[in-house]
Amino acid sequence: MPGTKIISLSVLKGIVRRLKQKGKRIVFTNGCFDILHYGHVKYLQDARSYGDYLVVAVNSDASVKKIKVKNRPVIGQADRLKTVAALASVDFVVLFNTDNPLRLIKALKPDILVKGADWSKKKIIGADFVSSYGGQVLTVNLVKGRSTSALIKKIVHDFPKD
């Protein structure tokens, strides 16, 4: 059931520790995942392919409001968590309230940190930390023309107010 994938950081830390003791590779990524679309799905499938388990940290509503344009998120955090958790490629989902996921990355110490190729490795939050203990920092190519911002613009353009 998707809801069982949504987990607190304190519980997730213990699970990740046990999985790593068994030799499993933990992949970590994060994002808002507002208005989930094929670009998100492909990104998460690609991220998952680098390890045994994929942890996805989802920005809280308050966090999204700080880093995105006004009126975001469109979809509330409870629904965004459940939607991401429903994906087969995702093993665990954790909510975070800060501007960035560094605290989670430090707590979980993933083997692999993944972001979209629109991020330079030098600007990926947590990259230096993950590299410091031998972890990998990887980028995934994004599906061209697929973004929440582009989708919102298309909806506003194609369905103007009456």
Residue 151 pLDDT exceeds 80 = no
Give tens-digit pLDDT for 55-84.
999 999 999 888 776 777 889 999 999 999
User: What average pLDDT does the segment 8-15 reach?
Assistant: 97
Give the per-residue pLDDT at 1: 44
Least trusted range by pLDDT, from 9-13, 35-39, 50-54, 87-91? 35-39
Residue 106 pLDDT exceeds 80 = yes
CB-CB contact of 96 with 16 (8 Å): no
Q: Edge-to-edge strands of the sheet including 136-140? A: 92-96, 53-59, 26-31, 112-116, 136-140
Give tens-digit pLDDT for 114-140.
998 888 888 999 999 999 999 999 999
Buried b / exposed e over 50-82, threshold 16 CB at 10 Å, is bbebbbbbbbbbebbeeebeeebbbbebeebbe
Q: Where are the domains of the chain?
A: 2-158
Q: Give me the residue label for tokens 């030799």.
A: 23
- In CATH terms, the fold of domain 2-158 is Rossmann fold (3.40.50)
